[in-house]
């Protein structure tokens, strides 16, 4: 198997591109996909500071590494979810990544703030852990980025994540979510930062391979709360379809985005947002989801 | 496990309805789903003759049995595709089903008409067998129903078929196909008959169970040409999702239909059809797909 670009010995096959690359050309390919996402979807400019959501997993650390190599000014943002040894190990991975590279980052600890981790908070709400976790991460990530004057929040969501989420939204015909599923969400309110997903053109296995080649030390375990999650189920279904027809995920998600852009040109997205009466952050209701969630925690105490 | 309706011992569980039925109440359930489809989607009236497409498989024979029990006037319509012993066995199943019930049917044999079976025709066109088969069946079914003065053609497509087809259309964002995927297609041209799918509310395993209970003798083997077909792949993916979340297929397809009805109320479907210059049947192009297909066969000879 030969590299498609330089004909030296290939290291990785990319069936969906009917291609194979050596280590050097694969590195070019990965960086090019990210550059293309940033530019093509107008994610951010050279002069903007970027908050990078870093969990300690491969996707977020790879994202941070690439943005740094591309010369962007970044600040890492880690939410310590307080899930026992899993969260401790995750936090250490972020620290060990950032320190030798001289990258600045902030850690927000749920236990320090609320005396409870995400699992207890979710239990208190009688909600699945992943649903409470989503609210908590979205809220804090946005608030902290805004607090530090960073106009953009970048997350490590990859092609597999986005295609699986799209499949879930389509299976349930979730129009609201379908409308909002974009790799570059503008800030619909002055207190909301822009949200971007620069890795959306890269498949999970491409990111994992790149992380190994770059010797990035990341937390390999999945979050213990994600066991049996719907998203993993959708990923598995798509992986089976992908194995039989390479390019399935790619076309499914990228064609969706093309259609969405065409539609948005006709009907621009308008969000009806006010400020939460409890915390002042943007909200669609009188009280935001995060404050409702934290309120149940206080009642439970 | 008890029957949800009469509390006697249940014979079949329906996880997607969070239900279980005894043989008698299951029979009621199956017939009610078909009645609901016929009425709710205005498929046909009591006074209309119905051509029933019968392959010899469980779905089509179950459909024929139910329509007969509901008192509709039917005529079976079997296309002998000329796939060796598989087609011979299929044809025999249709005959053995119809004769003791005194049901009328016609058989249209591809070999008698063209001297070739569907596999040779598809080879000649360098098209996948299932794609050529679709064109051939649609064309002949419509022409024969119209010839016999029957305004409606009913096929045995079930919930699994329709959900799998929808998944394929969504994965490729096939707008044209998405628009046309309805269990009741009006006749867009005087030479086209109405096309209806009265079993679309019933899952494949429900139909199989009902066939066994009714002692319907059907051909169990899948068509040898369907091996590795995309539709089977999509069915498999949906079955896995269904196992983890019963009701997935049902909601995916029925919610799609609801959305489609809402959309059609705004933009009615208009087909731009003329008559094929070769055979006179309705066509979107100058020459219809069937005549193009048969032409390649003549060239190959």
Question: Tens of pLDDT along B71-100?
Answer: 999 999 999 999 999 999 999 999 999 999
Give me A69's structure tokens: 């190599």
Q: Which residue has the higher pLDDT, B101 or A293?
A: B101
Q: Do B240 and A255 touch (CB under 8 A)?
A: no
Q: Which residue has the higher pLDDT, A211 or B281?
A: A211
Q: How far is CA B97 from CA A131, A213, B64, B204, B207, in A?
A: 53, 64, 10, 20, 16
In chain A, what residues touch B247 (CB-CB under 8 Å)?
none
Per-residue pLDDT reduced to its tens digit, A164-187: 999 999 999 987 778 778 999 998
Q: Do B237 and A237 touch (CB under 8 A)?
A: yes
In chain B, what residues touch A253 (CB-CB under 8 Å)?
none
Q: How far is CA A161 from CA A52, A198, B154, in A?
A: 17, 12, 40
Q: Do A240 and B256 touch (CB under 8 A)?
A: no
- The pLDDT-based confidence of B131 (bands split at 50, 70, 90) is confident
Q: Do B240 and A233 touch (CB under 8 A)?
A: yes
pLDDT over 70 (residue A214): yes
In chain B, what residues touch A234 (CB-CB under 8 Å)?
241
In chain B, what residues touch A256 (CB-CB under 8 Å)?
173
In chain B, what residues touch A244 (CB-CB under 8 Å)?
228, 230, 233
Read off the pTM. 0.89
Please give, rounded to a whole number of angstroms, the shortest distance from the CA of A202 to a CA of chain B: 18
Q: How far is CA A259 from CA A179, A250, B56, B172, B261, in A?
A: 11, 14, 41, 12, 21
Helix (H, G, I), strand (E, B) or coil at B2: strand
User: How many Cβ atoms sit within 10 Å of the Cβ of residue B214?
Assistant: 15
Structure letter (DSSP) for residue A223: P
What's the confidence (pLDDT) of residue A43?
97
Question: What ipTM goes with this model?
Answer: 0.84
Q: What is the mean pLDDT of residues B190-200?
A: 95
Sheet holding B194-196, edge to edge: B105-109, B74-80, B50-53, B152-154, B194-196, B184-185
pLDDT over 70 (residue A46): yes
Instruction: Answer whether A173 touches B (CB < 8 Å).
Output: yes
- Residue from B162, B153, B189, B121 nearest B256 by CA: B162
- How far apart CA B51 and CA B142 sit, in angstroms, is 9
What's the confidence (pLDDT) of residue B150?
97
What's the confidence (pLDDT) of residue A269?
53
Give me A16's structure tokens: 């969906």
Percentage of residues of chain B with pLDDT beyond 90: 73
- The pLDDT-based confidence of A299 (bands split at 50, 70, 90) is low
- The pLDDT-based confidence of A270 (bands split at 50, 70, 90) is low
What's the confidence (pLDDT) of residue A188?
84
In chain B, what residues touch A252 (CB-CB under 8 Å)?
170-173
Instruction: Answer whether B266 touches A (CB < 8 Å).
Output: no
Q: Do A248 and B171 touch (CB under 8 A)?
A: yes
Q: How far is CA A151 from the centre of its chain?
A: 16
Q: Do A233 and B255 touch (CB under 8 A)?
A: no
In chain B, what residues touch A236 (CB-CB under 8 Å)?
240
Q: Which helix (H) or strand (E) holds A239?
A: helix A230-244
Helix ranges restricted to H, B106-128: 110-114, 118-125
User: How many Cβ atoms sit within 10 Å of the Cβ of residue B195?
Assistant: 24
Per-residue pLDDT reduced to its tens digit, A102-144: 999 999 999 998 888 988 888 887 888 888 888 899 999 999 9
Mutation target to probe the B interface, by most B beta carbons within 10 A, among A16, A166, A169, A171 is A171
Please give, rounded to a whole number of angstroms, the shortest distance from the CA of B14 to a CA of chain A: 20
Per-residue pLDDT reduced to its tens digit, B169-183: 999 998 777 877 899
Give me B24's structure tokens: 């008698």
* Per-chain mean pLDDT for chain A: 92
pLDDT over 90 (residue B168): yes
What's the confidence (pLDDT) of residue B228?
77
Instruction: Answer whether B123 touches A (CB < 8 Å).
Output: no
Residue B57, classified by CB atoms within 10 Å of its CB into exposed (0-12), middle (13-18) or buried (19+), is buried
What's the confidence (pLDDT) of residue B125?
77
B residues 219-248 lying closer than 8 A (beta carbon) to A: 228, 230, 233-234, 236-237, 240-241, 244-245, 248
- How far apart CA B38 and CA A107 sit, in angstroms, is 60
What's the confidence (pLDDT) of residue A54?
98
In chain A, what residues touch B172 (CB-CB under 8 Å)?
251-252, 255
What's the confidence (pLDDT) of residue B271?
64
Give me A201's structure tokens: 């053109």
């Amino acid at each position: 198997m030969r590299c498609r670009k330089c004909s030296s010995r290939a290291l990785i096959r990319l069936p969906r591109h009917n291609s194979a690359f050596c280590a050097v050309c694969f590195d070019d390919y990965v960086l090019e996909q990210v550059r293309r996402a940033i530019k093509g979807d107008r994610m951010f400019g050279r002069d903007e500071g970027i908050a990078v959501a870093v969990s300690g997993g491969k996707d977020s650390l790879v994202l941070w590494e690439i943005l740094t190599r591309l010369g962007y000014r970044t600040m890492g943002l880690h939410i310590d979810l307080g899930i026992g040894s899993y969260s401790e190990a995750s936090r250490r991975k972020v620290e060990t990544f950032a320190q030798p590279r001289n990258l600045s980052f902030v850690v927000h600890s749920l236990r320090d703030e609320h005396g409870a981790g995400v699992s207890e908070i979710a239990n208190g709400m009688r909600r699945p852990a992943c649903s409470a976790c989503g609210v908590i991460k979205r809220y804090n990530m946005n608030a902290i980025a805004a607090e530090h004057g960073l106009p953009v929040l970048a997350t490590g969501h990859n092609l597999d994540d986005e295609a699986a989420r799209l499949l879930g939204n389509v299976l349930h015909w979730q129009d609201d979510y379908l409308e909002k599923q974009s790799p570059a969400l503008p800030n619909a309110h002055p207190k909301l930062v822009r949200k971007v997903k620069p890795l959306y053109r890269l498949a999970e296995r491409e990111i994992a391979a790149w992380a190994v080649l770059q010797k990035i030390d990341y937390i390999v375990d999945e979050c213990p709360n994600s066991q049996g999650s719907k998203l993993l189920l959708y990923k598995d279904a798509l992986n089976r379809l992908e194995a039989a027809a390479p390019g399935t995920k790619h076309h499914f998600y990228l064609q969706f985005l093309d259609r969405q852009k065409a539609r948005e040109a006709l009907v621009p997205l308008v969000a009806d947002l006010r400020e939460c009466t409890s915390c002042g952050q943007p909200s669609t209701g009188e009280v935001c989801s995060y404050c409702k969630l934290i309120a149940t925690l206080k009642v439970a105490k």
